[in-house]
Chain A
Amino acid sequence: MGSRASSLLREEDIEEIKKETGFSHSQITRLYSRFHSLDKGENGALSREDFQRIPELAINPLGDRIINAFFPEGEDQVNFRGFMRTLAHFRPVEDNEKNKDPSAGEPLNSRNNKLLFAFRLYDLDRDDKISRDELLQVLRMMVGVNISDEQLGSIADRTIQEADTNGDMCISFSEFIKVLEKVDVEQKMSIRFLH
């Protein structure tokens, strides 16, 4: 499986992905094997069904939303680059990267981008605000069935109230960042991709 998969991935592609995402060479080839094993249709791209075949993801309360996050706006297929771009958000932040290249723009795994990724899980309609309904939907998925609607509503109200500084009864991205300022997001949202 290893050698056949990597032969479909060209060296230039690997270099580009490396520059864009910051993954190392071996990490990229390993993740490509994974991509390939998920790709049952063997067409070089993953569809939603391919993701849904992962058993543990099916029982994850936020499974659908996570899958959605891989697919760019309005598309049904994601290629390897898109796959890696999404995964790049979860790379651990390393100290020696911080001073690398200020002109290259913010790396995908910066704190801001990590938080933006999480924010987009709530904000389905992409209006840069988490409305009460969007929050309720996510809460319902996470908390389960044995809570009444009013109680869930009060929890949602309280969540918005704690974050809302401009009184629009929605959570904007900056308010979201403020709420999570005490949480160690860089550590929480990182996976150790094996070298």
Chain B
Amino acid sequence: MADDLVLDTAIRNWVLVPLSVVMVLIGVLRYFVSKLIRSSQNPDTKAIKEGQAVIRARNLRSAAHLIPSKSFRSRRIYFTNEENGLLYVPKEEAQKAQAQMFQDPNMAMDMMKKNLSMIIPQTLTFAWVNFFFSGFVAAKIPFPLTPRFRSMLQNGIDLSTVDVSYVSSRSWYFLNLFGLRGFFSLILGEENATDDA
């Protein structure tokens, strides 16, 4: 069994490096596009008020041991009493609010846009990789895997005696997909929208 394949330098120049570069560029592009597309939402006064009230309640809860218990109790009643407590929401209203959240066109649109902006570039890149870069050994991974992974990693290669360490470009694509997430978080800062989660 050939243990040390010698691979053409042209593979390195024209497959590995371009694929990585393309994925990095697509990630950066997606970041900027998502920033541009994000519709500037006019902050809703009511929602902000409620959010701030929740923050106040959370601060109260975390600092509860530092104030006299009488003042803690009076503050708590201010938030939760049934007539005009800031945080009290009658049952029917709560359900209405949730139903509204799903029908709200803006929020649904945003969620859909975010999902699409993640799925489409991945699908396109995967199709591109499959079309152009299939049928040859692309890289050698430095650690050995069991033969069960052969069908997953070597899909374009039709020889079965090649070491499982020699993988096709599809697996290079997946390796890039997962490995570049950390890289993106370094160069794009927060909110980079490249997390698959």
A and B from one complex: no
Q: A residues touching B (Cβ–Cβ < 8 Å)?
A: none
Q: B residues touching A (Cβ–Cβ < 8 Å)?
A: none
